[in-house]
A and B are shown apart, each in its own frame.
Chain A
């Protein structure tokens, strides 16, 4: 599945458009996620997006989110499904009360292969490769 680079900011931001479902697949939204290997969770959503998917119905106890600048914040945690190349990936979905840009983190990336070549404008996630090797 191909992503793209947002060239309005430097260095370019690697983005991928994905469908996110609630864990029972009754609701979905489509978002541009920034691929972020510094984020250890699955996906990060804004509080509004989290509510749109009714994710408060499937929560776990809150987690502690640690920023690279040393700050710690409280995160709500739930479950969600994302679709990558027709493959469903169940992952944890997080949110907090702040200015949140959707992030795709290592919990999902570790279940796939990532091709990241900004100079060739090439960005791709391949969950199929991971099936054979992970």
Chain B
């Protein structure tokens, strides 16, 4: 593959601003563009993969069901798939066995706190750079 890629219609002002920052960081524009392309792929590549697309739709539907449990009193692990609560179990393993048996592509296994808080994960640097 050629190392030279010509791209039309690049916003010159945007390019200048990016170039200024890249120079300050001592980076080439090639490495900056590669990073931008990777970030873009990360954001949109799931559109290409139909399997992931259908899983994503199931996830959204199951998440809506999970959110409906927010104001209810319950303990343990709720198993949600096919847009319904399959059951609430005290044991995680039993919940997962039911997920394998009763759910096809996707299930959510949640505890009450999972609906309220968004987990934040530190990734460090090397994941995409």
- Give residues in A with beta carbon < 8 Å to B: 23-24, 26, 34, 36-41, 44, 47, 51, 56-69, 71, 73, 75-77, 79, 94, 96-101, 103
Contacts and interface: CB of A to CB of B under 8 A. Distances in A.
Given A57-B99, A103-B127, A98 B122 contact: no
A66 B122 contact: yes
A57 B70 CA distance: 21
B90 interface: no
A59 B109 CA distance: 6
A6 B75 CA distance: 46
A24 B107 contact: no
Which 6 residue pairs spanning A and B have beta carbons closest together? A38-B124, A98-B42, A63-B119, A40-B122, A68-B125, A65-B123
B45 interface: yes
Given A38-B124, A57-B107, A59-B59, A64 B39 contact: no
Nearest to A94: B121
B84 interface: no
A61 B108 contact: yes
Given A24-B96, A51-B51, A57-B100, A34 B126 contact: yes
Interface string B84-108: 0000000001001101100101111
Contacts of A97: 41-46, 52
B125 A38 contact: yes
A99 B38 contact: yes
A24 B95 CA distance: 11
A2 B66 CA distance: 42
Contacts of B120: 63-64, 66
Contact of A75 (B38, B46, B121): B121
Interface stretch (B2-10, B13-21, B110-118): B110-118
B1 interface: no
B33 interface: no
Contact of B66 (A61, A73, A75): A61
A41 B119 CA distance: 10
A55 to B, nearest CB: 10
Given A39-B124, A60-B119, A61-B114, 7 more contacts: A36-B124, A36-B126, A38-B122, A39-B127, A63-B121, A67-B128, A98-B41
Nearest to B45: A97
Given A41-B121, A63-B119, A56 B105 contact: yes
Contacts of B32: none
